[in-house]
């Protein structure tokens, strides 16, 4: 496993992170989920990402159990706050009340006394940004959080936050967690250049486009039984944007490119996002330990320029690049 600094900080993260967005506590039984975490740790993955909202807070519980007994200093634990975790109007968003209560609840579920990276899961249009940033900084001063970051924020939103943090002497955001893959490149136009200037690293999710870039979905054929595209609980709505014949046929053109590079389709997809120097880590999920071990082999791979060109040629105009699509919905709407 290779490791990279997270943004401009002194903390290193594994190039491949393990995330449990739609697996732990929902799609995968607890025993299998714990086996996946152990497999991740065994191949050198030290960075584990979750969120309070995943599986209705159950994902944090499972991850806490899986990491119990592992030396706390040997891994980096990331979680998030924003989405609803209860029925009340204050059980969501980035108010001081919700941030403080959510952080304390996450610490209990994760069975730890601190979070290495606490992330604002989306931008909150209703809460004053100053209120949010003061709450995050207070968590750092209290020793409950080491670093703070964002997820799916626009470049202008991150810049506004950094300006306030600098003016008030608060600790800065040091990371952003966006969706990023060969097919979804909306961060390249604005977020990446701003992040490079400001010392912010990307921890990208869905590098294999919810499984589409593995090549297991075929044009004109039904999705494999038990796959994400057939399970509404595991992100079927999100993956549906890619289950189109034009996309699936283009993905098939990546198969010889992967073979030429000596990689599986999934490894090629993960390695592709890691070619971006602003990417600190790529998050993978898994339902089986074998998937963790296989995808982790994408670490340290340097794709040749001709391979990168072949990928662009195969996908043509299909990748989404519109920066305006990087938008946060209102959690109270």
CA distance 85 to 113: 21
Q: Give alpha helix (H) positions in 88-190.
A: 96-110, 129-141, 155-168
Tens-place pLDDT, residues 259-288: 999 999 999 999 999 999 999 999 998 888
Strand partners, 77: 48
Q: What are phi and psi of 288, to 5 degrees?
A: -140, 145
Mean per-residue pLDDT over the chain, rounded: 92
Answering whether pTM is above 0.85, one says yes
Q: Where is pLDDT greater, at 231 or 128?
A: 128
CA distance 85 to 93: 10
What was the pLDDT predicted at 329?
A: 78
Tokens of 113: 């006394």
Strand partners, 175: 201
Tens-place pLDDT, residues 169-198: 999 999 999 999 999 999 999 999 999 999
Confidence band of 110 (pLDDT split at 50, 70, 90): very high
β pairing state of 115-120 and 47-49: unpaired
Residue-number span of the structural domain to which 133 is assigned: 3-211+266-301
Residue 188 lies in a domain: yes
What was the pLDDT predicted at 296?
A: 96
Query: Which residues are tagged catalytic?
Result: 54
Residue 221 lies in a domain: no
For range 194-220, the mean pLDDT? 92
Evaluate whether 93 touches 127 at the Cβ level (below 8 Å): yes
Confidence band of 233 (pLDDT split at 50, 70, 90): low
Confidence band of 24 (pLDDT split at 50, 70, 90): low
Is 235 a residue whose pLDDT tops 80? no
Q: What's 159's domain CATH number?
A: 3.20.20.100
CB within 8 Å of 165: residues ≥ 6 apart? 133, 137, 171, 172, 173
What was the pLDDT predicted at 328?
A: 83
CA distance 71 to 196: 33
Rounded percentage of the chain residues whose pLDDT exceeds 70: 91
Residue 313 lies in a domain: no
Evaluate whether 270 touches 193 at the Cβ level (below 8 Å): no
Confidence band of 333 (pLDDT split at 50, 70, 90): low
DSSP letter for 12, please: E
What was the pLDDT predicted at 232?
A: 63
DSSP letter for 282, please: E
Residue 229 lies in a domain: no
Residue 238 lies in a domain: no
Evaluate whether 24 touches 58 at the Cβ level (below 8 Å): yes
Residue 15 lies in a domain: yes
Matching residue, tokens 């509404």: 232
Residue 255 lies in a domain: no
What was the pLDDT predicted at 234?
A: 55
Which of 82, 84, 91, 199 is closest to 147 using CA atoms? 199
CA distance 296 to 304: 19
What was the pLDDT predicted at 28?
A: 57
Strand partners, 205: 179
Residue 248 lies in a domain: no
Q: Cα 44 to chain center, whole Å? A: 18
Q: Residue 237 belongs to what H/E stretch? A: helix 236-239
Domain count, the chain: 1
Tokens of 286: 């898994």
């Amino acid at each position: 496993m290779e490791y990279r600094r997270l943004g401009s900080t002194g903390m290193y993260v594994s190039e491949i992170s393990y995330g449990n967005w739609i697996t732990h506590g929902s799609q995968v039984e607890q025993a299998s989920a714990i086996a996946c975490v152990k497999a991740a740790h065994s191949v050198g993955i030290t960075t584990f990402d979750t969120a309070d909202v995943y599986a209705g807070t159950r994902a944090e519980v499972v991850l806490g159990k899986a990491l119990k007994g592992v030396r706390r200093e040997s891994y980096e634990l990331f979680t998030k706050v924003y989405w609803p975790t209860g029925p009340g109007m204050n059980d969501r968003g980035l108010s001081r009340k919700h941030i403080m209560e959510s952080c304390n609840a996450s610490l209990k579920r994760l069975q730890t006394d601190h979070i290495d990276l606490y992330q604002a899961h989306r931008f909150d249009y209703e809460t004053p940004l100053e209120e949010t940033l003061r709450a995050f900084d207070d968590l750092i001063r209290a020793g409950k959080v080491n670093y703070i970051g964002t997820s799916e924020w626009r470049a202008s939103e991150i810049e506004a936050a950094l300006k306030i943090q600098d003016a008030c002497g608060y600790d800065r955001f040091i990371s952003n967690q966006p969706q990023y893959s060969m097919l979804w490149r909306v961060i390249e136009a604005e977020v990446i250049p701003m992040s490079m200037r400001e010392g912010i690293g990307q921890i990208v999710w869905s590098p294999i486009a919810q499984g589409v870039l593995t090549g297991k979905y075929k044009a004109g054929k039904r999705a494999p039984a038990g796959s994400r595209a057939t399970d509404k609980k595991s992100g079927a709505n999100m993956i549906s944007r890619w289950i189109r014949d034009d996309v699936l046929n283009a993905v098939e053109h990546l198969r010889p490119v992967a073979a030429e590079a000596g990689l599986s389709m999934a490894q090629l997809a993960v390695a592709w996002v890691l070619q971006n120097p602003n990417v600190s880590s790529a998050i993978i999920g898994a339902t089986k330990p074998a998937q963790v071990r296989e995808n982790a082999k994408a670490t340290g791979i340097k794709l040749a320029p001709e391979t990168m060109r072949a990928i662009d040629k195969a996908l043509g105009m299909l990748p989404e690049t519109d920066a305006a699509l990087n938008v946060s919905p209102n959690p109270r709407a």
